[in-house]
Structure 1
Amino acid sequence: MDLKDQNFGAWPCHFRFNKYNFAQVSAGSNGLQIHTDAVFLTLLQEDECVGGLEILVPGSDSFVEVDPLPGLLLVNVGDIAQAWSNGLLHNVKHRVRCKDAIPRFSIALFLLAPKDDKVEAPTALVNSDRPRMYQTFFYNDYRKMRFSTGLYAGEILSQLLM
C-alpha cells in the first residue's frame, strides 16, 4: 500500500468532553494516571485557565507541564500510530495533575484505528533497513489487553514486538 492511498477519513473517531472536579484535598495529586493514548492520534483542547497536563520527557523520569495557551490545539501521537508507523512515530506518556481546587475541562477528539480494526505498518514503511517492528494485531484485542493487565503507559506494545 502506498501511503498516499491511505484513507484516514474511513477510520472511526471518538469525541469526548472531560470534566475534572478537583477538590482542595486533591491539590498536587494526579487527576489522571500516567498513560499513553490507546488510539492513533488525539486532538486536545486544554482548559486554558487551569492547566495540569504534563508530558514525560523521553528517557527520563521528569515531567514538563504543557502551558495551556489560548487557542492551542495539541496533537498527541498514540500507541496505534507508533505500531502503524513501524516505530517512526512515538507515543507520548502523559498525565493530568490537579493544581488547584477548581474544575478543569478539556475537549478531545480521538482518531481510533483502521476501519477493519487490523493494525499493521503499511508496506511503504517496511523495508530491509527498517524491518517490520510489530506483529499485526487487532485494535479491540489491544484495548482488552490494556484493560486486563492494567498496563496503560504503552507497555503492551513491547509485547507485540517481532
Structure 2
Amino acid sequence: MNSSRLQDELKKKNPFEVPEQEAILNLLRTNDYFENRFGRLFRDYGVTASQYNVLRILSGEGKPMPCLEIASRTIQVVPAITGLIDRLEKQGLVQRHRCEQDRRVVYISLTLKAEKLLNRMEGPVIELHRELVGHLTRQELKELSRLLEKARESTGSEEA
C-alpha cells in the first residue's frame, strides 16, 4: 500500500487509522505552517495576527464598533478582547469612546496611525496569500473554501 504525502512528511510508519484522521492532521499541519508565515509577516509590522484581525474588522466596518461586536467577528476566538484592545490602544492604533446612551458600551475606533499601518501592510499580506495558495485555480480555491465550511458544520460554529 502506498503511503500518503503526510505520512511521509511525518515519517509515520503505519497508515492513518481512518481517512478523517489524515484529513484533520493535514489541516492542522497546513494551518500551523500558514499561521507561522503570517505571524512572521505581522511581527515585521509590530502586531499579532489577532491584533491585525481586529484592525481589519474596524477598517472594514468603517466606523467605531462596540468591543463585543468586534470579538464576535474575529477569525480566532479571542477570550480576552479587552486585553487585546488595551495593547492596541497602548500602541496608538485604536481609541476607546464610551457610549453616551449606555455607559457600559465602549466603542473602538481606528487611529490615523492604524490606517497608515494597514495601508502599508495591504500589499505584503495579499502577496503572502498568493504565495501560499496562488498555485490553486479559482475553482480549487472555491472548492477548498466550500469543503472547509462544510467541515465546520459539524462543530456547531456555523451561523445560520
TM over 0.5: no
**TM-score scaled to structure 1, two decimals?**
0.22
**TM-score scaled to structure 2, two decimals?**
0.23
Higher helix proportion (structure 1 or 2): 2
Larger radius of gyration: 2
Higher strand proportion (structure 1 or 2): 1
